Amino acid sequence: MESNKIFAALLLAGIIAMLSGFTAKKMVTIHMPEEPSYVIEVAETTDAAGGEVAEEIDILSMIAVGDVAKGEKLSKACAACHSFEKGGPNRVGPNLWDIVNAKHAHLSDFPYSEVFVGMKDKTWTYENISDFLAKPKQYAPGTKMSYIGMKKPEDRANIIAWLRTLSDSPAALPEAKAAPAEGATDAPAAAE
Ligand code: HEC
C-alpha cells in the first residue's frame, strides 16, 4: 500500500535526523585541557579525599591581625558554658577572664576533668588555645568541654584576639610575620 511506503519514508527520515543530531553533538564536543591553565593557590586543610592533613596555617600572624569585634560575636558559641567578665561565675565551664598565658585548669574553684588537672602546669599560649578550640577532644582526650570545635582558623584567630583583650594587662600580640615593614611601600610620587 502507498501509506506503508510513506510510513517507511517517515521512519527513515526520523532515523536519519536522530543519527545526524547525534553526530552533530559529537562534533561540537569541546576538549577541555586536563589541567587548568591557571592555578589558584589556596591553603589546603584537607586533602582530595577530604581527610585531614597537617594544617599549615600561621595562626600567630592571623591572631596579630585578628578582628576583635568578630571574635566577640563568635564568643556567643561559648557563652552558654563560659562567662568572660572579670570575677564572672563558673557555669558548665570555668570563667575565662585572663585566660591567655594562664595555666591549664587555671581556676581553683572549678571541678576540671582529670585530663585538665593533669595539664595544670602547662601555660595556655596562643597556639595551644587554637589547637584546643579546633578539636577539644583531640587536644584533651576526656575533656568535659563538650564543644565540637571551631573549624575555621580565621574564626579561632578572631576569638583568640578577643580573648586576649580580657585582661588587666593583655599579653603581647604575636608579630605578624607576613606584614610588610613600615615605610616599605613606595610613597606616591609628588606632582612636580
Ligand atoms: C558545652 C559547654 C562548653 C562550650 C560550648 C564551650 N566550653 Fe570551654 N569549657 C567547658 C568545660 C566544661 C571546660 C573544662 C574542661 C575540662 O575540665 O575538661 C572548658 C574549658 C575551656 C578552657 C580552658 C579553661 C581553663 O581554665 O583551663 C578554655 C580556654 C575554653 N573552655 C574556651 C572555650 C571557648 C573559646 C569556647 C567557645 C568557642 C568554649 N570554650 C565553648 C565547656 C564549654
Give the position, in ligand 1's atom list, of the atom nearest the Cα of 159.
35
> What amino acid occupies position 182?
E
Q: From the CA of 146, how far away is ligand 1's center (Å)? A: 8
Given this model, what pLDDT does residue 20 score? Answer: 66
Q: Give the pLDDT band of residue 88 (cuts 50, 70, 90).
A: very high
Q: From the CA of 153, how far away is ligand 1's center (Å)? A: 18
Output the nine-digit C-alpha cell for 92.
558548665
Given this model, what pLDDT does residue 192 score? Answer: 47
Given this model, what pLDDT does residue 27 score? Answer: 57
Distance of alpha carbon 66 from alpha carbon 83, whole angstroms: 21
Q: Please determine, for residue 109, whether its predicted confidence score (pLDDT) is greater than 90.
A: yes
Q: Please determine, for residue 128, whether its predicted confidence score (pLDDT) is greater than 70.
A: yes
- Average pLDDT, integer, range 73-79: 98
Choose the weakest-confidence range: 74-78, 153-157, 188-192.
188-192
Distance of alpha carbon 157 from alpha carbon 24, whole angstroms: 55
Q: How large is the greatest C-alpha to C-alpha distance in the chain, in angstroms?
A: 104
Output the nine-digit C-alpha cell for 46.
584537607
Give the position, in ligand 1's atom list, of the atom nearest the Cα of 107.
26
Output the nine-digit C-alpha cell for 53.
592533613
State pLDDT tens for residues 25-43: 555 555 665 655 555 555 5
Whether residue 178 contacts residue 110, with contact meaning beta carbons closer than 8 Å, is answered with: no
Pocket (CB within 6 angstroms of ligand 1): 77-78, 80-82, 92-94, 96, 99, 104-107, 112-113, 116, 129, 133, 140, 143-147, 150, 159
State pLDDT tens for residues 130-174: 999 999 999 999 999 999 999 999 999 999 999 999 999 999 999
Output the nine-digit C-alpha cell for 136.
577539644
Place of cell 591567655: 100
Give the position, in ligand 1's atom list, of the atom nearest the Cα of 146.
1
Whether residue 74 contacts residue 81, with contact meaning beta carbons closer than 8 Å, is answered with: no
Q: From the CA of 164, how far away is ligand 1's center (Å)? A: 15
Q: Please determine, for residue 184, whether its predicted confidence score (pLDDT) is greater than 60.
A: no
Q: From the CA of 81, how far away is ligand 1's center (Å)? A: 7
Q: From the CA of 170, how far away is ligand 1's center (Å)? A: 20
Q: Please determine, for residue 49, whether its predicted confidence score (pLDDT) is greater than 70.
A: no
Q: What is the CA radius of gyration of the chain?
A: 31
- In our burial notation (b when 16+ CB lie closer than 10 A, e otherwise), range 34-65 reads eeeeeeeeeeeeeeeeeeeeeeebbbbbbbbe
